[in-house]
Amino acid sequence: DVKVTQSSRYLVKRTGEKVFLECVQDMDHENMFWYRQDPGLGLRLIYFSYDVKMKEKGDIPEGYSVSREKKERFSLILESASTNQTSMYLCASSSLNGVNTGELFFGEGSRLTVL
Amino acid sequence: DAKTTQPPSMDCAEGRAANLPCNHSTISGNEYVYWYRQIHSQGPQYIIHGLKNNETNEMASLIITEDRKSSTLILPHATLRDTAVYYCIVRVVTESYKLSFGAGTTVTVRA
């Protein structure tokens, strides 16, 4: 089975802190994604990457950056956390064909609270 | 993107089929219907997708009406582990990764 592992299930950070959310997948997938999920707003795409060192902005990239130095790892970075970044963050991966079929595999999520 | 309308909730008896409707009356010719589900405190899980033909996999069946304005996801033998929020999404295939979930249907399977 595909496994997408997010480093932390729950984090509490203070405003202004730099936050790293790590995601690792074990299926050699080319594509990786970061979403956030908020009540009433649904799931929104922050960034995605289709190859090592490649990244593309999603719908809400402001306040975030990403890093993909290795194929299996995709990191989401909050340079200076703010309270409006309190959310559930979800990482996903897919094969090249998976992008066209919609078959994304998600991690269990990281619930971030910024105080 | 075409919008979708789903009932907010439904109950289903364990072992029975669960039929989840979705309306997408403004769907375009190149848009697919995708279904995902999300079990509480977990990430979303892909279920199935289709364009105009009915589709079946190990998890579910997808029935799309001839005019493509609505579809039904069928869980053939619901189990307690199928309790989740089910999302119906319409996207063009090249942007299928740009998921945008609405409220979905909360399905509760009862013993």
- CB distance B6 to B86 below 8 Å: yes
Mean confidence (pLDDT) of chain A: 91
Contacts of A103 in chain B (CB under 8 A): 46, 49
Across the interface, whether the CB atoms of A109 and B97 are under 8 A apart is answered no
Tens digits of per-residue pLDDT, B50-75? 999 899 999 999 999 999 999 999 99
Tens digits of per-residue pLDDT, A43-76? 889 999 988 989 999 989 999 999 999 999 999 9
Residue A103 has what pLDDT?
Answer: 80
Q: Which of B96, B102, B103 sits opposite A100 (nearest CB)?
A: B96
| pLDDT tens track, chain B, 111 positions | 668 999 999 999 999 999 999 999 999 988 899 999 999 888 999 999 999 989 999 999 999 999 999 999 999 999 999 999 999 999 887 776 777 777 899 999 999
A41 contact partners, CB below 8 Å, separation of at least 6? none
Distance separating alpha carbons of residues B103 and B9, to the nearest angstrom: 10
Chain A interface includes B59 (CB < 8 A): no
Across the interface, whether the CB atoms of A102 and B98 are under 8 A apart is answered no
Chain A interface includes B58 (CB < 8 A): no
Residue A22 has what pLDDT?
Answer: 97
Q: Tell me the shortest Cα–Cα distance from B20 to chain A, in angstroms.
A: 19
Q: b/e map of A13-47 (b: 16 or more CB within 10 Å)?
A: beeeeebebbbbbeeebbbbbbbbbeeeebbbbbb
Q: Which of B41, B96, B101 sits opposite A99 (nearest CB)?
A: B96
